[in-house]
Amino acid sequence: MSNYTKILVAVDLSDESSAVVRRATVIAANNGAQLHLIHVIEPLSFAYGGDIPMDFSGIQDEIQQQASSQLKRFGETHDISEDNQHIILGRPEVEVHGKAQELGADLIVIGSHGRHGLALLLGSTANGVLHGAQCDVLAVRVGD
C-alpha cells in the first residue's frame, strides 16, 4: 500500500460530508498527508440548458457566495486551512480530476450513497470521479 502525500476530498457540504472528511483525516494522519477540500458548483445554465431566456448570473453569484462561506466554516470545523479549500464552478467530475492533477494529489476521497447499490453509484458523481482519475479514489459510503 502506498503512502499518500496529498489527499483531495470532494464535498457537497451536506451533513454527510463530515463523515467523508473524517475518514480522509484518519488516512491523512496515518500517512502524514496534506488534506485539501474541493466543492464544485454546477452552473445553473448546465441544469437548464440554453433554452430558458433568463440571466442566472445574480443567482449564480449568490450560490457561490453562500457556498464559499459554508466551505470556510466547514474547513474551520475540520481544521483545514483556507489555502487548502477550493471552490470551483463547473462539472464535478471534470473539476475534481483537474484539481487533483494540479495539486499532485495521490488520493481522491468522495462520498457515495450505497442504498440502491451499483445502479445508483453508476449514475453518480462518485462514479464520474472514479473513471478517468489518475490516482486512487476512495468512495466513502454515506447516507444509509
Q: Residue 50 belongs to a domain with what CATH number?
A: 3.40.50.620
Torsion angle in degrees (nearest 10) through CA of 111, 139, 95, 10: 40
Distance of CA 24 to the CA centre of its chain: 12
- In a domain, residue 52? The reply is yes
Query: At 43, is the pLDDT very low, low, confident or very high (cuts 50, 70, 90)?
Result: confident
Domain holding 115, by residue range, is: 6-142
Is residue 60 within 8 A of residue 44, CB to CB? The reply is yes
Q: Is 44 among the domain residues?
A: yes
Residue 131 lies in a domain: yes
* Position 13 in a domain: yes
Is position 81 within any domain? yes
The amino acid sitting at 18 is S
- Looking at the domain assignment, is residue 1 inside a domain? no
Instruction: Assess whether pLDDT exceeds 70 at residue 48.
Output: no
Domains in the chain: how many in total? 1
What is the model's pTM? 0.83
Whether 47 shows a pLDDT value over 90: the answer reads no
Amino acid at 24: A
| 119 against 51, higher pLDDT | 51
7 bridge partner residues: 35, 107
User: Would you say residue 100 lies in a domain?
Assistant: yes
Sheet bearing 34-41, strands edge to edge: 85-89, 34-41, 6-10, 107-113, 136-142
Core vs surface per residue 80-114: b (16+ CB within 10 A) or e:
beeebbbbbeebbbebbbebbeebebbbbbbbbbb
Distance CA 13, CA 21 (A): 10
Asked whether residue 65 is domain-assigned, the answer is yes
pLDDT at 130: 76
Q: Does the pLDDT value for residue 98 go beyond 60?
A: yes
